[in-house]
A and B are shown apart, each in its own frame.
Chain A
Amino acid sequence: MINNNWVSLFLMLCCIFLGLTALASLVRAIKGPRFTDRLMAGNMIGTMVIAMMCILSVYQNQSFLIDVALVYALLSILSVVVLARLVIIRRYGQLEREMKTPVLEDRRIQK
């Protein structure tokens, strides 16, 4: 625990505020009209959780929580990249079946 009293109170208020903003991002992820809205809101929630972990590690003065935050950053970015790549690759396959030409080779498609 950090020794100053008002600084620790401020850090706790910041954690509560970040929780509220993550909740608002979750509402956007539920409401979002397209799936990219949901991906983007999930990415934002991951960033806010990383910020909360950083604040908590300073609040409790525990250095191991920052390692957890580092691994969480790696995994949250990886999940977004994997989901977006999956959609892009399936869309390429769909375009190839529609047009009967390999898309990835010429890379330019007339409208």
Chain B
Amino acid sequence: MIRFVTDLIGVVLISSSMFVFASSVLGIYRFRYVLNRMHSAALCETLGMMLLVSGLTFLLGISWHSAKMILIVVFLWMASPVASHLIARAEVLTHAHITDELEVVDDERHI
């Protein structure tokens, strides 16, 4: 009985992570520009992976196996902002008319 309850909680958490992945894929088609699309791309590797790993931990129980999955999530949370920052910096540096795409424009261009 207790096994059924933990399995049910895990399945619900994995289903919500699948919803987050689907909305993230929808977001990269609905948004218009790269700097907007990166918002929904970051959604799938923070919230989606967290919900997925917590659901899989409910299915497995506490073990080294689930501890390594939590380690993957911790690493992704530390490394994903770095990658997003570098992609945004490359976009801002190489776009010729970046001020046409932005709503708030600074007077001086910081590089």
Contacts and interface: CB of A to CB of B under 8 A. Distances in A.
Interface of A: 2, 4, 7, 10-11, 14, 17-18, 21, 24-25, 28, 32, 34, 36-37, 39-41, 43-44, 47-48, 50-51, 54-55, 57-58, 63, 66-67, 69-70, 73-74, 77, 80-81, 84-85, 87-88, 91-92, 95, 103, 107-111
B59 A2 contact: yes
B111 A108 contact: yes
Interface string B54-82: 00100110001100110110011001101
The secondary-structure label for the interface of chain B is helix
Contact of B83 (A2, A37, A41, A80): A80
A94 to B, nearest CB: 9
B5 interface: no
Interface residues of B, number: 50
A81 B82 contact: yes
Contact of A58 (B22, B38, B60): B60
A36 B83 contact: no
Nearest to B94: A91
A18 B21 CA distance: 8
Interface of B: 7, 10-11, 14, 17-18, 21-22, 24-25, 28-29, 34, 37-38, 41, 44-45, 48-49, 52-53, 56, 59-60, 64-65, 68-69, 71-72, 75-76, 79-80, 82-83, 86-91, 93-95, 108-111
B109 to A, nearest CB: 5
Contacts of B109: 109-111
Given A40-B37, A66-B69, 13 more contacts: A14-B14, A17-B21, A21-B22, A36-B90, A44-B25, A47-B76, A48-B21, A54-B72, A55-B14, A55-B56, A81-B83, A87-B93, A107-B111
B108 A108 contact: yes
Contacts of A39: 87, 90
A23 to B, nearest CB: 10
Nearest to B29: A28
